[in-house]
Structure 1
Amino acid sequence: MDPFKNTDKQKIVLFSLEEPRYALYLSEVVKVERAVEITPLPGAPQVVSGVINVHGEIIPVIDIRKLFRLPQRDIHLDDHFIIARTSRRLVALEVDSVNGVYDLEHLQAMEPGESSPFTEYLSGIAGMDHGIVLITDLERFLSLEEERVLDLALAGGAK
């Protein structure tokens, strides 16, 4: 699927992790929550840092710093979780900040280059007035095997 077709209707949520800026499609975002302590989840895939409880719902936290090969750091009081929906589950993404919602029509679409070490997690790259935005592909954050392992870890925690 070409993520840049019908861009006049698509909106993205910009967020920051160190530099550069990243984006998710607004249609994938359920809500943004202030960061809270993450509870470890034994047996979870390495890219899952644990789970959080959001209004009684247990949601796995994907460590996108690990996916994007960024330096690890502790949660700060001003960090946020983007709660997003994949085709299989709700997930939380820990981000430094959420920078707003923008129309994709104001961005210039470009194909991801081979030089980025994490292009497998991107659906595109776009240029904005204040820099480059890496548009993420949420469905690629967990492999099918990682999904299976996560299901087992979550089921084990429910016992």
Structure 2
Amino acid sequence: MKLIEFECRGHRFAMPLDCVRRVVPGAMPTPLPGAPDIVLGALNLGGEILAVINFNRRIGVPFSGIDSSQFLLVSDLSDFPVGFVVDKVNGVIERDLSGATVLPERFAAGDFVEAVARLDDGLCVIIDPEQFLFDEEKSLLGDALEKVRHDDH
């Protein structure tokens, strides 16, 4: 499986490459009223409004704000585009996940952790972006984005 590998606060993660549309330099989003707490705001990217997601918050590591050295992994999540804020993009890797460890439910940080792959130089947490947001967060985010799109017209 082709994955895009990235880092957040020194931890390695990856998600399926086919989930990521592009990688763009970090940018400052504008507030998005009504969005869940995990959303940092909205960003107009080439005429498309996307929600900027605080990846750090979901994985439980400190977040000190977006800076110019970070990146957004632009992905389609359910019915809307999002940008995951990450510290570094390591590139595309090919991995056979049949040898990856599926985490027991009591150890998983959430349903968004698909597996942990043991690489030659450490571990990499494989993310399922479709499971990254909780259902209530998806609903709130969908409503907030719809309001922004409607207000723009």
TM-score under structure 1 length normalisation: 0.87
Which residue does 1:36 correspond to in 2?
27
Aligned partner (choices 67, 83, 90) of residue 76 of structure 1 = 67
Q: How does 1:148-159 map to 2 (within 5 A)?
A: 148-157=139-148, 158-159=150-151
**Worse overlay, 110-119 or 88-97:** 110-119
Give the partner amino acid of 1:30. R
The CA deviation at 1:88 is 2.0
Which residue does 1:124 correspond to in 2?
115
Report if the CA contact (8 A) 1:68-1:117 is conserved. Answer: no
Identity %: 31
**Worse overlay, 131-140 or 86-95:** 86-95
Query: Residues of 1 paired with 2:74 and 2:99: CA distance?
Result: 26
Gaps of 5+ in 1: 1-9
Change (3 A) 1:119 1:33: same
How many residues in Structure 1 have an aligned counterpart in Structure 2? 150
Report if the CA contact (8 A) 2:80-2:142 is conserved. Answer: no
- Say yes or no: does 1:133 pair with 2:124: yes
Indicate the SS of the match to 2:100.
strand
Query: Residues of 1 paired with 2:108 and 2:126: CA distance?
Result: 14
- Say yes or no: does 1:104 pair with 2:87: no
Query: Residues of 2 paired with 1:91 and 1:155: CA distance?
Result: 14
Q: Supply the RMSD in Å over aligned alpha carbons.
A: 1.7
Query: Residues of 2 paired with 1:16 and 1:108: CA distance?
Result: 21
Give the partner amino acid of 1:85. D
Aligned partner (choices 144, 154, 159) of residue 135 of structure 2 = 144
**Worse overlay, 13-22 or 84-93:** 84-93
TM-score under structure 2 length normalisation: 0.90
CA offset digits 1:81-130 (Å, max 9, x no partner): 00012232211100001001010128841112456461422011101111
Give the partner amino acid of 1:64. F
The CA deviation at 1:61 is 1.1
